[in-house]
Structure 1
């Protein structure tokens, strides 16, 4: 049996590991950084190994610390779920649901349901991270993610949200008047293209097109690279170049004439966004309420 001090020390260690910071973890747990540091050092003394590498600027897990975190994270998740279940028996589902979502996916599926969801479940807190990086859901401490189907690990539960998507090239009327309109995807090699980089990856994304039953890519070039699709679309609307994004994201710009779709004959549909989460023995009532609501409104 764990003593109360052992449990507190493990919880302290897990918080520091998740936040990569003693000060942020201390705020989360409601203790002082010095008290938190003492608890972690006491745990290291009891297990006889260093669990965290500390510098004046950063905190990282040692290999032993990573092994310990991997072992205790599921158990702590189960304990948290158990407490939430008890709270839920006294009323509504309660607790925190940590969500990782691609930015466009959050605009399309998450934002429209938030107002009603928060009214219906006032004791649920949605902790939402908007990031186009393909993160490990479990390692990141997330309960659920909304992302493109092609980026989902095979062992995840995946629920389709919405129809297929298409990506289209777009440019402003001013840009086209000055530089001309590309007639084929290869013509893009002679244009100023606004490129996008998957967060966490080195090379910019190569634009994908479809012709005669096959997909092919064009490695475009241009004066601007960004890790935000929205920033690239807005830049294209100013005349900075040609952007490439899903139709839903550029639709408002196209409707008001700020952007013009290009090369649509080469833009084919592909599987869109999915809600995904790890297979698990137990799903908390709060997570179940969120999943069910997103499914019903998408």
Structure 2
């Protein structure tokens, strides 16, 4: 059966079923929206593929042969079911629905994802968001993800990347008590003599080497210290406990810096780099659910306005 359903063979099978139902080439052609001559060619081609005569034709009538009757009874339910399935998919092609798998860096979830979830889920109740929070850089396509939110420097070149926020900056910070006890480094390379709280990318063996910029050139410092973590929030908490110098994103510790709990250092060597992006594979036909998700992340205010308008319309109907 697989060979019969390749290419245009499904159209031939559908043509045969239509003639078998109506026992008339003219009425079957009208039902399918084709000319009688085109329908006749489809049925003749199908009979040649099967190798058996399926229809008896006269100038006045059409009838199924014994083989045609047997085949018609077997394939008619399947063709009907397949047609219904295709019709259902076509009816939903412009409506966001289904499961959308998204891989999100942990530090991006709170800033970009969580604020838009209530309005998105209320506006698109047929979309199921399957979200993985993970700082590992995974192959999206190989792992079955539809989209990801990650920093710009780890996005594959063949991906479509949509910026979500401003540039980021890493900053070395420590508590006033740590600085009083161990001193303030004057250059990034001085960090090798300090207790540093190191962070390891999930899936990597060695901890992340801290990156700084001097005269437009980036360089790395392989710091050392008594604590290695794989969670950036724990990195910040350990720094607040005075266990060493941390190297978080500046925005993540802005409140602690403003309150004096942490002191920034080496800022002259802390340069900005591309921030968070929504990325997804290039595709000819984008699923409506993915399009709705992209639009919601790019313009969350519009999503909230849309939800407010829909809520107002519902309230008006029930008044």
TM value normalised by structure 1:
0.69
Are 1:174 and 2:173 an aligned pair? Answer: no
The whole-number CA distance in structure 1 between the counterparts of 2:237 and 2:256 is 9
The whole-number CA distance in structure 2 between the counterparts of 1:88 and 1:138 is 22
Match of 1:5 in 2: none
Match of 1:131 in 2: 134
> What SS does the aligned partner of 2:211 have?
strand
* Per-residue deviation, 1:224: 0.6
Q: Which runs of 5+ in 2 are unaligned?
A: 3-84, 302-319
Task: Label 1:81 to 1:286 Cα distance change in 2 as closer, same or farther (>3 A).
Answer: farther
Match of 1:190 in 2: 193
Structure index of larger Rg: 2
The whole-number CA distance in structure 2 between the counterparts of 1:83 and 1:258 is 59
Out of 225, 229, 236, the residue aligned to residue 226 of structure 1 is 229
Aligned length: 220
Contact 1:84 1:284 survives alignment (8 Å): no
Are 1:267 and 2:270 an aligned pair? Answer: yes
- After TM superposition, the runs of 4+ consecutive aligned structure 1 residues lying more than 3 A away are 80-89
Match of 2:11 in 1: none
> What SS does the aligned partner of 2:205 have?
coil
**CA deviation map 1:178-215 (0-9, x unaligned):** 21221211121111000011111111111001111111
Task: Label 1:240 to 1:84 Cα distance change in 2 as closer, same or farther (>3 A).
Answer: farther
Contact 2:257 2:264 survives alignment (8 Å): yes
Contact 1:161 1:273 survives alignment (8 Å): yes
Task: Label 1:125 to 1:190 Cα distance change in 2 as closer, same or farther (>3 A).
Answer: same
> What SS does the aligned partner of 1:251 have?
helix
The whole-number CA distance in structure 2 between the counterparts of 1:174 and 1:82 is 69
> What SS does the aligned partner of 1:248 have?
helix
* Per-residue deviation, 1:86: 3.2
Task: Label 1:123 to 1:158 Cα distance change in 2 as closer, same or farther (>3 A).
Answer: same
Contact 2:93 2:287 survives alignment (8 Å): no
> What SS does the aligned partner of 1:245 have?
coil
Higher mean alpha-carbon deviation, 190-199 vs 179-188, is at: 179-188
Higher mean alpha-carbon deviation, 252-261 vs 177-186, is at: 252-261
The whole-number CA distance in structure 2 between the counterparts of 1:278 and 1:82 is 27
**CA deviation map 1:254-273 (0-9, x unaligned):** 23332221111110111111
The whole-number CA distance in structure 2 between the counterparts of 1:94 and 1:126 is 10
TM value normalised by structure 2:
0.65
Q: Which runs of 5+ in 1 are unaligned?
A: 3-79
Task: Label 1:168 to 1:119 Cα distance change in 2 as closer, same or farther (>3 A).
Answer: same
Matches within 5 A, 1:282-293: 282-293=285-296
**CA deviation map 1:99-151 (0-9, x unaligned):** 10111111221122112212222221111101111000011110000111111
Matches within 5 A, 1:184-263: 184-263=187-266
The whole-number CA distance in structure 2 between the counterparts of 1:202 and 1:221 is 15
Match of 1:87 in 2: 92
